[in-house]
Amino acid sequence: MAPRGHSADDVARTALRILDDHGLPDLTMRRLATALDVQPSALYWHYPNKQTLLAELSDRIVGRMASGPAVDLGAEAHALRDALLTYRDGAEVVSSTLAMGLGSSLALDRLAASVVVRGSDVDTARRIAATVLHFVLGFVWHEQQRLQYDSAGARDDDARPSSPALASSAEDFAFGLEVIVAGLHARA
Amino acid sequence: MAPRGHSADDVARTALRILDDHGLPDLTMRRLATALDVQPSALYWHYPNKQTLLAELSDRIVGRMASGPAVDLGAEAHALRDALLTYRDGAEVVSSTLAMGLGSSLALDRLAASVVVRGSDVDTARRIAATVLHFVLGFVWHEQQRLQYDSAGARDDDARPSSPALASSAEDFAFGLEVIVAGLHARA
């Protein structure tokens, strides 16, 4: 019997809200249970462990990038960045889920599909997709860390004026992506 | 007066050992103080806060990549990956330090210098260096997450045999880097 009528969807939606409001370190099964007014043990009805729950959140985050066939690598990478930025710590949720061998392969699939339509073989396309995925996750991870430190007032912008910050604007993202796509074309 | 004769170097070396043995989440000022047999307050003599300590660790990790003039972007990127892999959670320590606006700019400087020697202007070189840095940090972050999950026996390799893992071998790293360098050449 499902606990107190909460569906798996209820649990995931509440977890996403806690993630966005408080960040990944504060998304505990205990806090989630309190928000749903159930015992922590009741959550395991839907998600046998926290990793399984995070994989569901990861799939929901990445799922925002899907819309029609994937035909352009740059567009897919931008859509992935936008999806990750939708929720606080989105890059960390998705990266850790992939590292666990969990979650859907939607991001990799869409990136690879957009390389295949340009004529690459499937193996090469998946490796290029992985390169782009690592770049996007690394970039957005950095962006989201900065956002978090900025909101906490913890960044030390004045302490090292001589140390140029690591580029992390939308323009820098587009630039990096262009370099990778140019490399793809150069190899083709 | 410095606490119990521990130098800043002692504190940093012990912190690196704890990082490597237990990982970043378990590197607390309390645990560090216990390992040094001092009160936590004594640590603040050398490091006013944990962020400052992490920045010192980040500089020591990245400092492993320096040896002679930087002339080859691929070699610098490989040296950075090797440096990050030397300590558990190295990518997370360095990325969070950069996001805080702390730490040295050695990694970015060496990557950029190896682009400048090929004739790029300084601004373009720094943006390309940032692209490579995001890729390397994203890649090694994923590698280190996998290492951690593997050692904890937590990865779910059997659950989704149909979902190909995100590429993360040394060969995949070299491949991704080649694509980025090819893109740099294509732009030049």
Q: Are residues A92 and A179 in the same domain?
A: yes
* DSSP code of residue B153: T
Instruction: Tell me the pLDDT band of A163, cut-offs 50, 70 and 90.
Output: very low
Among chain A residues, the shortest Cα distance to B91 is held by A138
Q: Are residues A19 and A87 in the same domain?
A: no
Residue contact A137–B141, C-beta within 8 A: yes
pLDDT at site B187? 80
Residue contact A130–B167, C-beta within 8 A: yes
Q: Are A126 and B164 in contact (CB under 8 A)?
A: yes
Q: Let me know if residue B157 belongs to a domain.
A: no
* Shortest CA gap B151–chain A (Å): 11
CATH code (residue A33) = 1.10.10
Among chain B residues, the shortest Cα distance to A52 is held by B156
Residue contact B105–A179, C-beta within 8 A: no
Q: Structural domain of residue B39, as residue ranges?
A: 1-48
* Shortest CA gap A4–chain B (Å): 29
From the list A105, A130, A166, the residue facing B130 with the nearest CB is: A166
Angle between helices B170-187 and A122-151 (to 10 degrees): 90
Q: Are A181 and A73 in contact (CB under 8 A)?
A: yes
pLDDT digits (tens, 9 = 90+) for A23-66: 999 999 999 999 999 998 889 989 999 999 999 999 999 999 97
- Helix%, strand%, coil% for chain A, nearest 5: 70, 0, 30
pLDDT at site B152? 77
Q: Are B180 and A131 in contact (CB under 8 A)?
A: yes
pLDDT digits (tens, 9 = 90+) for A73-100: 999 999 999 999 999 999 999 999 999 9
* Shortest CA gap A117–chain B (Å): 18
Instruction: Give residue B67's Cα distance to chain centre.
Output: 17
Q: Are residues A108 and A22 in the same domain?
A: no
pLDDT at site B159? 47
Of the candidates B81, B65, B71, the residue with the CA atom closest to the CA atom of residue B174:
B81
Q: Are residues B174 and B81 in the same domain?
A: yes
Percent of chain A scoring above 70 in pLDDT:
91
pLDDT at site A186? 87
Of the candidates A67, A81, A88, A61, the residue with the CA atom closest to the CA atom of residue A171:
A81
- B185 inside 8 A of chain A by CB: yes
Please give chain B's pLDDT, 188 residues, in tens: 454 568 999 999 999 999 999 999 999 999 999 999 999 888 998 999 999 999 999 999 999 997 789 889 999 999 999 999 999 999 999 999 999 999 999 999 999 999 998 888 999 999 999 999 999 999 999 999 998 888 877 665 554 433 456 777 899 999 999 999 999 888 87
Q: Which residues contact A92 (CB under 8 A, 6 or more apart)?
A: A24, A141, A144
Mean pLDDT for chain A overall: 89
Of the candidates A8, A97, A19, the residue with the CA atom closest to the CA atom of residue A45:
A8
Our count of domains for chain A comes to 2
